[in-house]
Amino acid sequence: MKPPSDERQRWLDDPAHVTLIYRALVGTCLVLVGVGFLVAHGGHFWWEESAGFYAVYGFVSCVTLVLIAKGLRRVLKRPEDYYDR
Amino acid sequence: MIASIPPGWILLIGGLLVPLIPRRARPVWLLALPIASGAHLLTLPLGFQVTASWLGIDLMPVRVDGLSLPFGVVFHLAALLAVIYALHEDDLVQQGSALVYSGAAVAAVFAGDLLTLFVYWELTAVASALLVFAARTPRARSAGLRYLVIQVASGAFLLAGAVLQWHRSGSLAFTPLSLGTLAGSLVFLGFGIKCAFPLLHSWVQDAYPESTATGTVFLSVFTTKLAVYALARGYAGTPLLIGIGAVMTVFPIFYAVIENDLRRVLAYSLINQLGFMVVGIGIGTAMALNGAVAYAFCNVLFEGLLFMAMGAVLYRTGTVKGSELGGLYKSMPWTTAFCIVGAAAISGFPLVNGFISKPLILDAVADRHLLIAWFALVFASAGVFHHAGIKIPFFAFFAHDSGVRCREAPFNMLLAMGASAAVCIAIGIAPGLLYGLLPFPESYRPYAPSHVLAQTQLLFWAGLAFAWLVRSGIYPKEIPSVNLDADWTYRHVLPRSVRAGVARWQEARESVAGYARRVWAPVAKGVALGVGPDSAVARTWATGTAVLWVVFFLALFLLVYHLRYLS
């Protein structure tokens, strides 16, 4: 379906703005790791004391999650009417 | 007098009476029931009990204590919000069964013995199945039947365990049970089915997404959280639950990433969420149990909110498939905003209620130095944000513009979503509101700087991973598909093997019969000559001949008789 052509353009419709958000996100992420050097860490495990453990773990685990899920799809995916046949 | 009404019964009876209420008065009736029932519950003091004796069995139909009360409170809150959300519906089946379902779930939470629990347990099964059937589609009908069979089976295990327990100990009291006995194991299995333990879980993602836009909101609240309550009551501190819970947090998120139906994504996320609670129950310390209860309380609110948002999308556009949606923020800005609050809450962002409840469980895990469980739960926390926190709002409301234009959700839906979002934020800002309700005193300080930083780092970098994967085209596209899960065994393998088995059996019977005909034909012929219809044995005799023979045998008998005594 095509969006109505007489509709006003939204701020998010401009790809440049989406890129802007992306860059802001990258910036925020870096700042958060920077803050990690300043804040005293409390944790139960030694690796929680490091400045960016949660950053690394969050990023790596999500990429791994998506890559494994993509692989699983090759095995698990069936047509939408699979059970109706 | 008022106190003698068991909690939940106002909802239960009120739900049954719905068809008798004139249509114009019905909205008032529907709204009044959860409010009246909730107010009634709050008049009952902690420690309130009702005992009864039935056929010589001691029962405790009502028990209000620190563990049952928070569930009772949140069930009422959820019932009220869901009723507001469904107020535009004009379907007696849904309105009635939703209230009976809510009432049965409340009553079950306050049941002090296993028999009373069983009765309400099965009532929730039947009433909730009606909500699945209410969609009135062929898919919903078959999913509802599968759902009903599984739910009733769960009750059957509970009953079998209860009877054995009574036989063994002479008591039906619902107190901590042991996995060391058959009775305890059967009850555990009954609870486990309703709590969506791995491999027993597939009814959640099979049935919930097939219900109506409003029905799924009710469904997402009660059944599974009732099971969490029951596990916390019966099996707190059972180490097996830590392993089960950890698996529950992890495996559904892989499915959630590749699932196209956004309500099914939420169903998977529901299992993941239950996993956190199950881990807390497995640890069983005061903090861990507080965490499990607090998380159940918060989950009812934010998971309900997410199901409401997707229900609103379904109601307005007729679909919740990621592959057909996108750009809806232009048409449904309020729904988008409320959905984002729910997404932030389930992900555990600061200032929303997930942030102040989940760390109780994670801290309890770390306290015990359960390394694998800890890594699994932190992984799952990042994963929740990925599929429920980002994927749901992103593919429905943003992503590429699908061109779908619709009206904003009806006012009552917006009101319910807005109120849910407000409660999520209120509890997030003032955790004391919730901590005061928990079974044990709680002094946790969620807003310690290190915790705030750790959680924000985790979430922002998980978000960055999503953004990077989507922009680089690695992220799997939303495509119309079905992904095989445990229900494949009974929806595909079982029917096919039964069909194949029946065919094989008929084949075998045919070949045996053919063999018999060939080999045994001569024998059969001989037998037929001897005793068949034309044989001497089967021939009919004239009466006179028969009499002659009888006389002959009688004479023979007499002869033998006399000879014997003469000699």
Q: Report d(CA B281, CA B192) in Å as an integer.
A: 13
Work out the minimum CA distance from A52 to partner chain B, whole angstroms: 8
Q: Which of B454, B461, B476 sits opposite A29 (nearest CB)?
A: B461
* DSSP 8-state symbol, B191: H
Q: Which of A59, A66, A80 sits opposite B464 (nearest CB)?
A: A59
Instruction: Give the residue from B458, B488, B493 with the most A CB atoms within 10 Å of its CB, the best one to mutate.
Output: B458
Residues of A in contact with B456 (CB under 8 A): 32
Least confident of A35-49, B38-52, B391-405, B466-480: A35-49
Work out the minimum CA distance from A40 to partner chain B, whole angstroms: 7
Determine the 3-state secondary structure of B321 from DSSP.
Answer: strand
Work out the minimum CA distance from A27 to partner chain B, whole angstroms: 10
* Structure tokens that stand for B74 in this block: 């949140």
Q: Report d(CA B361, CA B245) in Å as an integer.
A: 11
Residues of B in contact with A2 (CB under 8 A): 403
Q: Which of B353, B362, B367 is nearest to B432 (CA)?
A: B353
B1 has a pLDDT exceeding 50: no
Q: Which of B398, B405, B458 sits opposite A54 (nearest CB)?
A: B458
Q: Report d(CA B15, CA A21) in Å as an integer.
A: 49
Share of chain B above pLDDT 70, in %: 98
Q: Which of B212, B192, B193, B188 is nearest to B203 (CA)?
A: B193
- For the segment B505-529, what is each residue's pLDDT rounded down to a tens digit? 999 999 988 888 888 888 878 877 7
- Verify whether the Cβ–Cβ distance A59 to B461 is below 8 Å: yes
Average pLDDT on B57-74 reads 95
Average pLDDT on B209-216 reads 96
- For the segment B225-280, what is each residue's pLDDT rounded down to a tens digit? 999 999 999 999 999 999 999 999 999 999 999 999 999 999 999 999 999 999 99
Q: Which helix (H) or strand (E) holds B53?
A: strand B49-54
Residues of A in contact with B401 (CB under 8 A): 3, 13
- For the segment B424-474, what is each residue's pLDDT rounded down to a tens digit? 999 999 999 999 999 999 999 999 999 999 999 999 999 999 999 999 999
Residues of A in contact with B257 (CB under 8 A): 65-66, 69-70
Exposure string over B139-161, b if 16+ CB within 10 A, otherwise e: ebebbbebbbebbeebbbbbbbb
Compare B413 and B5 and report the one with higher pLDDT: B413
Q: Report d(CA B451, CA B356) in Å as an integer.
A: 10
Domain boundaries, chain B: 1-227, 238-439, 491-566
Q: Which of B398, B461, B481 sits opposite A78 (nearest CB)?
A: B481
pLDDT confidence of residue B541 = 66
Q: Which of B232, B227, B235, B156 is nearest to B192 (CA)?
A: B227
pLDDT confidence of residue B478 = 86
- Verify whether the Cβ–Cβ distance B379 to A43 is below 8 Å: no
Q: Which of B403, B466, B483 sits opposite A76 (nearest CB)?
A: B483
pLDDT confidence of residue B115 = 94
* pTM of the predicted model as reported, rounded to 2 decimal places: 0.90
Residues of A in contact with B366 (CB under 8 A): 43-45
> In a 10 Å sphere around its CB, with 0-12 CB exposed, 13-18 middle and 19+ buried, how is residue A70 labelled?
middle
Residues of B in contact with A73 (CB under 8 A): 258, 476, 481, 483
Whole-Å CA distances, B208 to B250, B268, B271: 20, 10, 12
Determine the 3-state secondary structure of B500 from DSSP.
Answer: helix
Residues of A in contact with B491 (CB under 8 A): 83
B538 has a pLDDT exceeding 80: no
Residues 6+ away with beta carbon under 8 Å from B49: B60, B62, B63, B64, B112
Question: Nearest 5 degrees, angle CA B332-CA B307-CA B472?
Answer: 70
B567 has a pLDDT exceeding 60: no
Q: Which helix (H) or strand (E) holds B140?
A: helix B138-169
- Verify whether the Cβ–Cβ distance B483 to A77 is below 8 Å: yes
Q: Which of A32, A44, A63 sits opposite B465 (nearest CB)?
A: A63
B563 has a pLDDT exceeding 70: yes
- For residues B319 and B417, the answer to whether their CB atoms sit within 8 Å is no
Whole-Å CA distances, B110 to B61, B174, B226: 7, 10, 10
- Cα-only R_g, chain A: 21
Work out the minimum CA distance from A44 to partner chain B, whole angstroms: 6
- For residues B352 and B360, the answer to whether their CB atoms sit within 8 Å is no
Question: Nearest 5 degrees, angle CA B40-CA B42-CA B47?
Answer: 110
Residues of A in contact with B448 (CB under 8 A): 42
pLDDT confidence of residue B477 = 87
* DSSP 8-state symbol, A13: G
* Structure tokens that stand for B100 in this block: 């009976």
Work out the minimum CA distance from A55 to partner chain B, whole angstroms: 5
- Verify whether the Cβ–Cβ distance B460 to A13 is below 8 Å: no
- Verify whether the Cβ–Cβ distance B467 to A82 is below 8 Å: no
SS3 content of chain B, % helix, strand, coil (to 5): 75, 5, 25
B376 has a pLDDT exceeding 90: yes
- For residues B403 and A2, the answer to whether their CB atoms sit within 8 Å is yes
Exposure string over A31-60, b if 16+ CB within 10 A, otherwise e: ebbebbeeeebebeeeebeebbbbbbbbbe
Residue B18 pLDDT grade (very low, low, confident, very high; cuts 50, 70, 90)? very high
* Structure tokens that stand for B58 in this block: 């001691």
Residues of A in contact with B258 (CB under 8 A): 69-70, 72-73, 76-77
**What pLDDT tens digit does each residue of chain A (85 aa) get?**
666 667 788 898 889 999 999 999 999 999 999 999 988 777 788 888 888 899 999 999 999 999 999 999 999 999 988 988 7
